[in-house]
Structure 1
């Protein structure tokens, strides 16, 4: 009896709580004089650098980085069509990775009240080691689902032996449109302003990180 070729998909999803919160903060200022704008930016951003350095030294922060200062100029237009005087802009971006979410929340709430500071984004993630481990385990589970599905098909046909012939990410064995696996989805923050007029109240709600994996596999059954 010739082999029966069975082609199946296997998919698996893993949910894990985030282990790190990555905050992206920018400091911006503008004015009519370039030198004064740069000095103002330095005065606004230096306390943030000092704060992040002390937190890193104390072990409260996993890591942080700062982008170079960006400086540009433009001439805005008035509502009557007149071009106004030159305005100079300066900005610098900070990225800080927290593993203590309570500390992250307090820091974001405190720093967002400072002049010129803007909270651009908060993203949740696993540590690199955990991400690799989770992705590998999820992919392995997806393969096992494919094996179990092929075995069930073979059993329904009265066959008893199943051997793997090909295993690949979704879309590589067939032409069905699908995203490669594994895939990690992460949630960002939600923030709201304090109705009382004080410092912004930042509502940080880290949700589970979803890691998905899918494979296509061909088996020979007899």
Structure 2
């Protein structure tokens, strides 16, 4: 039998407990007078920042920032179609990365007591070092799976040796891929849901899919 080209796909994944939580909150105020509205937003934001600084010093927060400050005004309309007096608004967006779920739960419970603070997002993730390590391990395992599949096909054909010709992320070996997969491993949360005040880090699923072309003889 002449040489045969075998094309296979290898997949692998790992489940790793999340290590960090990126949280975003918005402090927003409104009222009929611009000065007091802005002042109240600044005071409430300063209080939130003080809590973040305390957690940063204790090592429960790795970083925080005040992303954006917005001040604007509008004139709302009532149910009868009449335009009401001017209303002023102020908003301050803050973000922080927590490395301790217990500290995050306590902090969210504290800031949620104010009507001026809204928690807009809590995103669980791995640390950069862990993510890079796990992605390398999962990608290597996906290649091993592809080699094993190609070897099994070759054995079934009575061919003795298998050598790699091409290895690529899923979709890159196709002649006309419709939706090429991004390079490297894909990462997503294993579970999703709204933030609560008794938070447990979810598992992060790190997945790698590769395609390989092998020559068997």
* Bin for the TM-score computed over the shorter chain: over 0.9
- In structure 2, relative to structure 1, the CA distance for the partners of 1:204 and 1:82 (3 Å cut) is same
Q: Where does residue 209 of structure 2 map in the other structure? A: 214
Distance in 2 between residues matched to 1:60 and 1:172, nearest whole Å: 42
The size of the alignment, in residue pairs, is 213
CA distance in 2, matches of 1:42, 1:80: 35
Matched, 1:158 2:158: yes
More off after superposition, 111-120 vs 178-187: 178-187
Secondary structure (helix, strand or coil) at the match of 1:158 reads coil
**Could you list the per-position Cα deviations for residues 171-197 of structure 1 after superposition, in whole angstroms to 9, with x for gaps in the alignment?**
1101364633410002555346xxxxx
Q: Counterpart in 2 of 1:190? A: 194
Structure 2 CA distance, aligned partners of 1:67 and 1:176?
37
Deviations 1:33-62, CA, capped at 9 Å, x for gaps: 211211110111111112211221222211
- Between the aligned partners of 2:181 and 2:79, the Cα distance in structure 1 is 48
Instruction: List alignment gaps of at least 5 residues for structure 2.
Output: none
Matches within 5 A, 1:116-135: 116-135=116-135
Give me the whole-angstrom Cα distance separating, in 2, the residues matched to 1:207 and 1:60.
18
Contact 2:172 2:181 in 1 (8 A): no
Q: CA RMSD in A?
A: 1.6
Q: State whether residues 189 and 206 of structure 1, in contact with CA within 8 Å, keep that contact through their aligned partners in structure 2.
A: no
Structural mapping, 1:1-222, within 5 Å: 1-174=1-174, 175=177, 177=179, 179-180=181-182, 181-186=184-189, 187-191=191-195, 202-222=197-217
Aligned CA distance change for structure 1 residues 130 and 104 (closer, same or farther; 3 Å): same
SS of match in other structure, 1:102: helix
Q: TM (normalized to structure 1)?
A: 0.90
Contact 2:102–2:198 (CA under 8 A) maintained in structure 1: no
1:190 touches 1:204 (CA, 8 Å); kept in 2? Answer: no
Q: Distance in 1 between matches of 2:37 and 2:208?
A: 49
* CA contact 1:154–1:162 (8 Å) conserved in 2: yes
Q: TM-score with structure 2 length normalisation?
A: 0.92
Report the alpha carbon displacement of residue 108 of structure 1 after superposing the two structures with TM: 0.7
| Runs of at least 4 residues off by over 6 Å | none
The alpha carbon displacement at 1:90 in A equals: 0.8
